[in-house]
Structure 1
Amino acid sequence: MMKLWMAPGGLHIEPGQTRDAVDLARIHAQGFYRGWPVAEFSSFLSEDGTPVYVACDAKRRIAGFALIRLAADEAELLTIAVDPKWRGKRIGQALLHAAFDDLLMSPARRMFLEVSEENTPAIKLYGREGFATISSRRGYYPKPDGSAATALVMARDLG
């Protein structure tokens, strides 16, 4: 039986499939200076330890996704991205809630993530969802002008 979660805008969230790699790479490239290649998404989608959650409509047009890595009792949000036309509609929040719900059935007890200190909308979302900054990494994210942004390392307990 396939897991499904409700999402705003008539969307639902379901597990990602290997056929989603091209769409995920496209959406990721729209949100980040250095998008990840299709082959990397294909690899993640085929691994058991990297669950992917996709927000999509009834015709399975993907509006956003979240990619998690599981290791022992920890989960890491590797990336989350929402198609520009769907931003500001709480899709990212719904994706996080689906992941939190699903992870209750896993050994993971804490989730970590890294976010650019310049990504104010994401930092606000993570704060609303119970994440707190635990450290930072200077010069972590390359920027188009050749400089680099600091990453905030955030964490929250699960369950």
Structure 2
Amino acid sequence: MRIMPAGPERAAELSRLHALSFDKPWSAAEIEALIGGAGAFALVAGESSPPDSITGMILARRLFEEAEILTLAVAPQARRQGVGQGLTLACADLLRGAGVQSLFLEAGVDNPAALALYQACGFVEAGRRRDYYDRGGRKVDAVVMRLDLNTGRP
């Protein structure tokens, strides 16, 4: 598996991949705007060509000494093969090298696979956001997770 940066020109591909993982996927225009925004970046897993060989993507944003993972998506056929973990760790390494102290994310309490992935990458629970996600009229809490990158803290 190769992990490489992806720019706004790949927004349509990333949007298609995002739609395979989320009930409310982000449009190509939304992804393009995010990647083009200050401090934001995307990494993809797979091969550089053909474009449909992308098996995963992560989108993150840095603001001074903190960063957040905005989204992570892995193609269904590539799940449970280390793609999500590889992308998460590559993102953390990139941010660590840039001097970021803490990396944050939110994951639904109803998503045990995501919670287990992030815990395996070293994230710890930092709080909860009540009723953060709307699952078709059913509200679900989000677990806020933190990974300390350059502080020496767990």
TM-score of the pair, normalised by structure 1: 0.88
Determine if the alignment matches structure 1 residue 24 to structure 2 residue 17: no
Question: Aligned-pair distance for 1:19?
Answer: 2.1
Q: Residues 64-96 of structure 1, C-alpha deviation per residue, up to 9 Å, x if partnerless?
A: 111111011001011101011111111000001
In 2, the alpha carbon distance for the partners of 1:18 and 1:74 equals 22
Q: Residues 84-143 of structure 1, C-alpha deviation per residue, up to 9 Å, x if partnerless?
A: 111111100000111122112213110000000011111001111111111111111111
Paired position in structure 2 for 1:39:
29
In 1, the alpha carbon distance for the partners of 2:85 and 2:30 equals 24
Match of 2:41 among 36, 39, 51: 51
In 2, the alpha carbon distance for the partners of 1:133 and 1:13 equals 27
Paired position in structure 1 for 2:65:
73
Matched position secondary structure for 1:118: coil
Determine if the alignment matches structure 1 residue 153 to structure 2 residue 136: no
In 2, the alpha carbon distance for the partners of 1:73 and 1:104 equals 10
Amino acid in structure 2 at the alignment position of 1:106:
A
In 2, the alpha carbon distance for the partners of 1:151 and 1:63 equals 25
In 1, the alpha carbon distance for the partners of 2:147 and 2:79 equals 23
Instruction: Give runs of aligned pairs for residues 6-155 of structure 1, distance below 5 A.
Output: 11-59=1-49, 60=51, 61-144=53-136, 146-155=137-146
Amino acid in structure 1 at the alignment position of 2:12:
V
Runs ≥4 residues deviating over 3 A: none
Structure 1, 80-89 or 41-50: larger mean CA deviation:
41-50
**Number of residue pairs matched?**
148
Paired position in structure 2 for 1:6:
none
What fraction of aligned residue pairs are identical, expressed as a percent?
Answer: 35
Question: Aligned-pair distance for 1:48?
Answer: 4.4
- Kindly report the root-mean-square deviation, in angstroms, between the aligned alpha carbons of the 2 structures: 1.3
